[in-house]
Amino acid sequence: MITVTINGKKIKAQEGKTVLEVARENDIYIPTLCYNDALAPAGNCRLCTVEVTQENRTALETSCNYIIQEGMEVKTDSERVKAVRQLVMELLLARCPNPKKVREVAAEVGVEAAPLRFSLENEYCILCGLCVRTCSEIVQAYAIEFEGSGINRKVTVPFSETSQECIGCGCCVYVCPTQVIKMREVEDAKIIYPEGEEDLGPQRSMQNWRTELNLKRCKGCGNPIAPEKQLTWLGEKMFLPVEFFDFCQTCRTYPEIDEEKCLGCGGCSDNCPCGALELKEEAGEVKAICYTINCTGCRICVDICPREAIS
């Protein structure tokens, strides 16, 4: 443990943590727009800037990626810090005046509108990078990226064409602070031709990434579960059998074995695609048992049991 001082208060903290982490652990508020606990800090928005004094040197640093050190002093609400945060929010309000989150954070730091000296735009993306980092670091689909620089910088798919990597998981939608990323689902999508129409079934559209994905239906209730591409991707990553996603969570049930009816023939265990059923001998009798941790709820065992011992 090392000792740091934040806003005049001495704090014991674990070595290797960032200023932001230590501040949050001690209920000291520092505003952020591009930080997420699950992602590596990037310091893109600059809103978490604090004043750090160390070895007679004082500088403004982004707290999300600045590692604490023994004896350092941190001020999270000095006049210099307040001025930086206000400038950051003035610039963001000039670029993105409409998103609710931007207006709320701007109000927190005392900014109600962008100064007249800034030219106003009507963007919704604040270039925080949360979507890009989530797609690469967490999902590992690498479907989106930054393109361009300066005022031309934007988040897009490679070559601005339909993404071949997007699996339609929607993680980018959930981390976006300004809700600019749009995901829509259509129950019965169709393509209309002059000579007729083609039914596509349920689809999920990731509008920002120009991607449309077919949704897999649950074999039980018939409701859409998730994009087929996402389920295939998850199955390959987690080494799951193809039947694992045949049923949604609501419809997925696990075998119940009536030991009085079970013959111990082994038909269920021989035909189980995921090795969830085995035969076990107890008191001289062989009976089937189910390991639900491996079971996908495919119900093959129910159909194959000659005595209807599995339900």
Q: pLDDT digits over 59-84, tens only? A: 999 999 999 999 999 999 999 999 99
Judge if pTM exceeds 0.85.
no
Q: What is the pLDDT of residue 46?
A: 93
pLDDT at 117 over 80: yes
Q: Which domains does the chain have, with CATH numbers?
A: 1-122 (3.10.20.740), 130-227 (no CATH), 253-311 (3.30.70.20)
Q: What is the pLDDT of residue 131?
A: 95
| 56 or 87, greater pLDDT | 87
> 25-61, pLDDT tens digit by residue?
999 999 999 999 999 999 999 999 999 999 889 999 9
pLDDT at 219 over 90: no
pLDDT at 253 over 80: no
- At 199, give phi and psi (nearest 5°): -80, 130
What span, in angstroms and rounded, lies between the C-alpha atoms of 243 and 234?
12
Q: What is the pLDDT of residue 190?
A: 79
Instruction: Using the Cα atoms of residue 262, residue 266, residue 270 and residue 275 in order, give the sign of their dihedral.
Output: positive
Percentage of residues in the chain with pLDDT exceeding 90?
54
Cα distances from 4 to residues 20, 69, 70, 81, 95, in angstroms, run: 13, 7, 6, 18, 37
| 254 or 229, greater pLDDT | 229
The first and second tokens of residue 183, run together, are 């995901």
Q: What is the pLDDT of residue 109?
A: 93
Q: What is the pLDDT of residue 164?
A: 87
Q: What are the residues whose beta carbons fall under 8 Å from the beta carbon of 249, sequence distance 6 or more?
A: none
Q: What is the pLDDT of residue 152?
A: 86
What span, in angstroms and rounded, lies between the C-alpha atoms of 73 and 106?
26
How confident is the prediction for the chain on average, in pLDDT?
89
Q: Single out the residue of 177, 167, 62, 184 nearest to residue 129, CA to CA.
A: 177
For residues 221-245, give the mean pLDDT: 85
In sequence order, what are the beta bridge partners of 4?
11
Q: What is the pLDDT of residue 259?
A: 85
Hunting for tokens 């210099």 — which residue is that?
A: 80
Q: What is the pLDDT of residue 301?
A: 87
For residues 164-172, give the mean pLDDT: 93
For residues 129-149, give the mean pLDDT: 93
What span, in angstroms and rounded, lies between the C-alpha atoms of 4 and 12?
7
What span, in angstroms and rounded, lies between the C-alpha atoms of 309 and 301?
10
